[in-house]
Amino acid sequence: MGSKMGMWLFCLLFAGATHAVGAEMRASLHPGVTNDPVSSLEVDQAIRLAAEYTKRNCGATGKFLYQVNVKFHRESSHYDPIRHAGAICGLAMYNHYEADSNSVNAMMRAGGLLRSQYMERGPKPDDKCLIVWMFPPANGGPLTTDLGGNGLGLVAMTEIDKVQPQWMSANDLEAMGQFILYLQKKDGSFNQRYRDQKGPVLNWECLYYPGEAACGLISLYEMDHSKEWLTAAGKALSYLAKSRVGMQTVPDDHWALMATARLLPYYDPSNCPATREELVQHAVQICQAMLSEQITNAPDPNINGAFNLDGRTAPTATRLEGLLAPLEFLPENQAELKKQIDVSVRRGINFLLRAQIKSGEYAGGMPGAIAKAGRNEVRIDYIQHALCAMIRYQKLFPAEGK
């Protein structure tokens, strides 16, 4: 989106509806359905191209090339710290995929910019929390922050701490977690926006933010093993699972799927109001909703494998991230669903491979869409989500196509 308001409006609209596609173009996911094989070598090459794009477009100050029109070489002046933090997470995932000092250096530069320009203590007058603001506090004016930026910011900072211990003090990381707890309600849901001096903004929501916050809290738990973070993450996912029971249309909440995959290895009923079975069933609901939307018979065959008719890449990549996560925890009685996910993610990965820019100045970039309206726009989160989806796929299917 071209503006912060545009992104917020998208979140509000998206939370209440799934993408509508023609029934004749939706996936026919039945046993035995096959798809073109995915080459492990091609995926590996695409991963490296995307990572190289991200690294070389992280400047000396730590600022990423946020958005560029590749046809006219025109950069956007807009900048979003949530997507900045997401790019750090993408580099961290690549560093786990293949240890790379250049990725680590870029992560630290980018983390330094996030820490120095966007983070400040609050809420006043106590200042016990460390907050990722949506605009640099030094710019002046009223300060606003969103839950998602603080959740992803916490994931990013803990990832940097893994490769550079004590890069950020334990007290500061804990203070970031405390702000997420400050925004959480007793039932596990969140106030998702906060304005300095005024407090939480009521009745404002973005679909992805609770899952991002849960991932941040689990990342903090993995560092200091304090049960309060795990309990808060469990409450957040329990609220989502219980509030969606029986819904005919479940939103495509890929962050909830990824957070569930991270929570379940630590699952303890004393720290989580929902049962393991309820969390798994919630994941099943989301997966089924996602699978029903994939395009397989579009007039333009290049769009097949995407999840909307204009061939947008980010929605496809995020759904692939989400669909791949439950393969880590779906039980044996969900074998049919796992087969359907297997077919779907192969289609989706092939779509991303076709969409990626393979050569030239913007090699490794991911356009916003295959369709004309978005094919010239490359944004840092388009690349990050595709990078993470391909890495997740490669880890689960490492030998395919070799």
Q: How far apart are CA 398 and CA 378, in angstroms?
A: 28
Within 10 angstroms of residue 90's Cβ, the number of other Cβ atoms is 25
Residue at 111: amino acid letter = G
Q: How far apart are CA 123 and CA 30, in angstroms?
A: 52
Burial class (CB in 10 A: 0-12, 13-18, 19+), 125: exposed
Largest CA distance in the chain: 62
State the total domains in the chain: 1
CATH number reported for the structural domain that contains residue 65 in this entry = 1.50.10.20
CA 39 to chain centre: 24
Cα 171 to Cα 82, 86, 89, 125, 178: the distances in Å are 22, 22, 21, 18, 10
Can you tell me whether residue 194 is helix, strand or coil?
A: strand
Residue at 188: amino acid letter = G
Is residue 313 within 8 A of residue 367, CB to CB? The reply is: yes
Q: What is the pLDDT along the chain (402 residues), one digit of tens a residue?
A: 344 444 433 343 333 333 333 333 333 332 333 457 899 999 999 999 999 999 999 999 999 999 999 999 999 999 999 999 999 999 999 999 999 999 999 999 999 999 999 999 999 888 999 999 999 999 988 899 999 999 999 999 999 999 999 999 999 999 999 999 999 999 999 999 999 989 999 999 999 999 999 999 999 999 999 999 999 999 999 999 999 999 988 999 999 999 999 999 999 999 899 999 999 999 999 999 999 999 999 989 999 999 999 999 999 999 999 999 999 999 999 999 999 999 999 999 999 999 999 999 999 999 999 987 789 999 999 999 999 999 999 999 987 644
Helix boundaries (H) for 17-169: 40-56, 81-97, 101-113, 147-163
> What residue numbers bound the domain in which 288 lies?
25-396
pLDDT of residue 263: 98
Cα 222 to Cα 171, 230, 341: the distances in Å are 15, 9, 29
Number of Cα atoms under 13 Å in the Cβ half of residue 290: 33
15 domain-assigned: no
53 domain-assigned: yes
13 domain-assigned: no
Q: What is the DSSP string of 14-33?
A: HHT-PPP--GGGB----TT-
134 domain-assigned: yes
Which helix (H) or strand (E) segment holds residue 182: the answer is: helix 170-183
Q: How far apart are CA 62 and CA 105, in angstroms?
A: 9
3 domain-assigned: no
184 domain-assigned: yes
pLDDT of residue 400: 61
Measure the CA dihedral 192/284/153/98, to 10°: -170
Interior CA angle at 234 toward 233 and 235, to 5°? 90
Provide the token pair at 85. Answer: 């933090």
Can you tell me whether residue 71 is helix, strand or coil?
A: coil
Q: How far apart are CA 164 and CA 167, in angstroms?
A: 6
Q: How far apart are CA 31 and CA 339, in angstroms?
A: 7
Q: How far apart are CA 285 and CA 51, in angstroms?
A: 32
What is the spatial order of strands in the sheet that 67-69 belongs to? Answer: 74-75, 67-69, 377-379
